[in-house]
Amino acid sequence: MQEVRRFYPFFPAVSARVREDFLWEGYAFHRGTPVLLDLYGTNHDSLLWEDADDFKPERFRSNSPSPYCFIPQGPGDPHVNHRCPGEGVAVALMSVAARFLARTLQYEVPEQDLSITWDRLPALPRSHFVMRNVRITM
């Protein structure tokens, strides 16, 4: 599930305004300046992720990445940083959905275009996600 969040972020970027003046790596940020955090770019950065453009669910089996390099919903701690406070709810809902898809349904997934289109938010794969011959299996 974490690899889905890394590879297909809900939003490509988040924005904020600088709260107080600070200097970071030689760059001055002034209070009130709008800033943008590239979620998609960070989660696909080859300096942070081996085979960054490959979908590899196994990468999270034994790896707990930093909350500043794995930023599907913003960086850091949601209590003190610009990370989405609803992230826990989003992860819980994804877990329920994944269990439902894996244990309750049978379906076929045809060939489709899962590349991301950024012309709408939330970002969706071009084909959305198509399933055929969906059946409940109880």
Span 7-34, pLDDT tens digits: 888 788 888 899 999 999 999 999 999 9
Separation of alpha carbons 49 and 113, rounded Å: 23
pLDDT 10s digits, 90-104: 889 999 999 999 999
Q: Domain-by-domain residue ranges, the chain?
A: 2-106
Which of the 8 DSSP states describes residue 60? G
Q: How far apart are CA 13 and CA 39, in angstroms?
A: 5
pTM value is 0.75
Looking at the chain, the number of H-run helices and the number of E-run strands are 3, 8
